[in-house]
Amino acid sequence: MARPEDLPLLPAIELAAARLLAGSAPESVLTETTSEADLEDAQSHGHLWVALADDRPVGFAHLEVLEPGVVHLKEIDVHPEHGRRGLGRRLVMAVCDWATTAGYLSITLTTFRDVPFNMPFYERLGFEAIPPGEISLALRSIIDDETRRGLDPIRRVGMRRRCEA
């Protein structure tokens, strides 16, 4: 779980990880970071995890309760200097284990369907594309917000992993 002292270090991780999506997302999206207030709220509610190296965060996962029984993986980032070492996988699995223990039915996320290290990564961890007719209004609002911010909805996919009791 993230500690209060970790919070100021997370935006730099988010920005560094976003550079991996250059060419796939508009520059305006690549320079966004999660607000300090959102990080503080997530940390205080136990919805923020960090991956540490030498007791400093090098990655993080941020959840939000989307609707009854469903949590949404709002953000997951690993600093590229620490990438390809399984930290992202471990963060996602920690979130999934927490959601299962907390009694949630599923975890959702949105990602790029055509970026090789996005959708396939989540599929390997048990996430499946949500058929368009099964996208909830709450998840639809997230996708609509992404579209307003400049992300191409054709290139985006909503995914879900059911929690196993």
What is the spatial distance between Cα 69 and Cα 82, in angstroms, rounded to a whole number?
33
Helix H or strand E segment including 111: strand 106-112
**Spatial CB neighbours of 106, under 8 Å, sequence gap ≥ 6:** 69, 70, 71, 99, 160, 161, 162, 163
Q: Hey, what are 41's tokens?
A: 């709220």
What phi and psi values does residue 104 have, to the nearest 5 degrees? -75, 150
What is the spatial distance between Cα 87 and Cα 49, in angstroms, rounded to a whole number?
11
What predicted TM-score, i.e. pTM, was given to this entire model?
0.95
pLDDT in tens, the chain (165 residues): 999 999 999 999 999 999 999 999 999 999 999 999 999 999 999 999 999 999 999 999 999 999 999 999 999 999 999 988 999 999 999 999 999 999 999 999 999 999 988 999 999 999 999 999 999 999 999 999 999 999 999 999 999 999 986
CATH number of this structure's domain 4-162? 3.40.630.30
